[in-house]
């Protein structure tokens, strides 16, 4: 039971990091984040890839909710998108938690 709680906590940490990064990107650029790697320089390309890797769950859920509201997509589409975003959040949350533990000096 404790393992399931830890996995849930890690997934929440990943989704919070995705939301923070997605919102920060939108604040800086005045555009919502998208899955595109269009960068004119190598630095721009790498930044775009890293942003998409960590903000991916936020982008998926934003698109899924908009698709359900605006395009009347079926509920199954929303459930599938939520599942994908949840698994992605768990993976990115693991990275975020490892970084937090390293910064705190526990790892």
Q: What is the pLDDT along the chain (107 residues), one digit of tens a residue?
A: 999 999 999 999 999 999 999 999 999 989 999 988 777 888 888 888 888 999 999 999 999 999 999 999 999 999 999 999 999 999 999 999 999 999 999 86
Tell me how long the chain is: 107
Return the pLDDT at 89.
97
Return the pLDDT at 38.
73
pTM of the model: 0.88
Q: Centre a 10 Å sphere on the Cβ of residue 78 and count the other Cβ atoms it contains.
A: 16
What are the φ/ψ torsions at residue 106 (nearest 5 degrees)?
A: -95, -10
CA distance 100 to 13: 11
CA distance 61 to 88: 11
Return the pLDDT at 15.
96
The DSSP-derived string for 34-57 is -S----SSHHHHHHHHHHHHHHHH
26's CB contacts (< 8 A; 6+ apart) are 32, 33
């Amino acid at each position: 039971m404790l393992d399931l709680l830890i996995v849930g906590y890690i997934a929440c940490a990943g989704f919070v990091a995705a939301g923070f990064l997605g919102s920060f990107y939108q604040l800086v650029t005045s555009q919502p984040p998208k899955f595109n790697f269009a960068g004119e320089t190598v630095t721009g390309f790498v930044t775009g890839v890293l942003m998409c890797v960590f903000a991916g769950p936020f982008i998926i859920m934003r698109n899924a909710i908009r698709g359900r509201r605006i395009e009347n997509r079926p509920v199954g589409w929303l459930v599938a998108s939520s599942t994908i975003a949840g698994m992605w959040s768990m993976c990115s949350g693991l990275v975020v938690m490892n970084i937090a533990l390293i910064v705190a000096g526990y790892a």
